[in-house]
């Protein structure tokens, strides 16, 4: 039996602080299994258990000079384990939030793209139907809706009365509504 097995936690800490590898190894052997079980109960992931244990004991050795001389080494190690577990949970939350945010961005981009495609299709369909209007009616409607001319400007440009402009636009809207409704209904079922 090794002399280190009979040493108290305080004595092991003092020796570890003095760079005694065997004392450090005894601490590892003494607490590894209990910590492993505790961490596994909290994380449910054996790979995380191995990582956390490795970090705890590497940090213990690296920071050995700062180690408090205590008779409650297990408490110190469990607090270290708890902090590592909380860091992992926090990191998972950040990852999860990032993934959710990324998915939201992708969904919005798809929505905007889909909306843009539908808008282009509707504009194309509208222009096709305007092309089917009588020429003068199509010209009056296009000047009104696409060039943003007022009724007065259209009447001056085309040398027709404002009342004729108003009537042409009104008739164009009626025709386009009926044609576009039929085309939209057809496109939904094709």
State pLDDT tens for residues 76-130: 999 999 999 988 888 888 888 888 887 887 777 777 777 777 777 777 777 888 8
**pLDDT higher for 187 or 66?**
66
pLDDT at 182: 60
Q: Are residues 61 and 120 in the same domain?
A: no
pLDDT at 103: 83
Per-residue confidence at 59, pLDDT binned at 50, 70, 90?
Answer: very high
CB 73 within 8 A of CB 27: yes
Q: What is the pTM of this model?
A: 0.52
Is the pLDDT assigned to residue 30 strictly greater than 90?
A: yes
**What does the block give as tokens for 40?**
């596994």
**What does the block give as tokens for 151?**
């009724």
CATH number reported for the structural domain that contains residue 18 in this entry: 1.10.1740.10
CATH number reported for the structural domain that contains residue 149 in this entry: 1.10.10.10
- Number of Cβ within 10 Å of residue 97's Cβ equals 10
Which residue segment(s) compose the domain that 147 sits in?
102-189
pLDDT at 20: 93
Least confident range of 1-10, 41-50, 67-76, 105-114: 105-114
């Amino acid at each position: 039996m090794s002399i280190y097995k009979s040493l108290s936690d305080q004595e092991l800490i003092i020796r570890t602080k003095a760079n005694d590898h065997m004392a450090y190894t005894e601490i590892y052997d003494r607490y590894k299994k209990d910590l492993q079980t505790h961490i596994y109960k909290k994380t449910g992931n054996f790979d995380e258990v191995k990582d956390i244990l490795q970090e705890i004991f590497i940090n213990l050795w690296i920071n050995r000079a700062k180690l408090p001389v205590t008779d409650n080494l297990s408490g110190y190690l469990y607090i270290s384990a708890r902090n590592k577990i909380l860091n992992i949970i926090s990191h998972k939350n950040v990852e999860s939030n990032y993934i959710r945010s990324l998915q939201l961005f992708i969904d919005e981009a798809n929505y905007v793209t889909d909306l843009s495609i539908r808008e282009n299709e509707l504009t194309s369909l509208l222009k096709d139907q305007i092309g089917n209007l009588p020429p003068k009616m199509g010209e009056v409607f296009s000047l009104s809706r696409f060039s943003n001319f007022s009724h007065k400007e259209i009447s001056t440009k085309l040398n027709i009365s404002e009342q004729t402009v108003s009537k042409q636009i009104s008739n164009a809207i009626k025709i386009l509504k009926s044609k576009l409704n039929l085309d939209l209904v057809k496109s939904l079922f094709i």
